Amino acid sequence: MNSNWFKIVTKATKVEYGKNLLLKGMPVIFNKGGAKLKIGDNVTIKSSFFSNLVGLYSRTIIVTRAPKAEIVIGDNVGISGATIYARKGITIGDNTCIGGNCKILDNDFHPIDTEDRLRLLADVHGGDSELVPSREIRIGKNCFIGCNSIILKGTVLGNGCVVGAGAVVSGKFEDNCVIAGNPARVIRRLGNKG
């Protein structure tokens, strides 16, 4: 089912999107007031179980969670059942493919320190979001993010990177490398094609 009618809903939260956005199934796309969520041209977002045969176990979720958060998704990007969740910023370059069930998270969702965590829990309105550790994520152009991988806060992937299935990625990686494992590390370098 192509849910193009859902584009009307995204406009209500001031999500910007380019031409030829294709939604398969019903993604959760939410832009918090004061944040920026921009989707480029020719982007495909798959959210239904049968839209990707790797076996999606959830809909795609793309959320800006803080007033100054920013998510920018480039042109010709494909996303399948992924979660992209920003408190600071997430940038995804052109021609990048994000495999089934990936998580791209620029924050820890809660403080590490017990006292800070309790203070945040006591703040019903979540106003103390500075307590949540967050750092921007940048994913270059022409990347491939394998299914079930997790991209953690502060990660920078150069152009042409390939992330192996199930990898847990944190850190900075140069152009044209294959990254795999937990914790992820460079296992191969590719030619300058990226």
Note the pLDDT tens digit of each residue in 113-154: 778 777 777 765 555 567 788 899 999 999 999 999 999 999
User: Is 110 designated active site?
Assistant: yes
Helix (H, G, I), strand (E, B) or coil at 7: helix
CATH of the domain at 117: 2.160.10
Instruction: Check whether 156 has a pLDDT greater than 60.
Output: yes
Using an 8 Å Cβ cutoff, are 147 and 129 in contact? no
Separation between Cα atoms, residue 89 and residue 15, nearest integer Å? 15
Q: Which helix (H) or strand (E) holds 169?
A: strand 168-169
The answer to whether residue 194 is domain-embedded is: no
Full DSSP string of 106-133:
SB-SS-SSHHHHHHHHH-TT---GGGS-
Q: Print the domain residue range for 31.
A: 6-44+53-149
pLDDT recorded at residue 9: 64
Mean pLDDT along residues 77-93: 96
Would you tell me how many other CB atoms lie within 10 Å of the CB of residue 34?
11
The answer to whether residue 183 is domain-embedded is: no
Separation between Cα atoms, residue 113 and residue 20, nearest integer Å? 45
The answer to whether residue 188 is domain-embedded is: no
Strands (E), 42-147: 44-46, 61-64, 70-73, 78-80, 83-86, 89-92, 97-98, 103-105, 137-139, 144-145
The answer to whether residue 105 is domain-embedded is: yes
11, 14, 110, 188: the active-site residue: 110
- What is this structure's pTM? 0.88
Domains in the chain, number? 1
The answer to whether residue 172 is domain-embedded is: no
pLDDT recorded at residue 94: 98
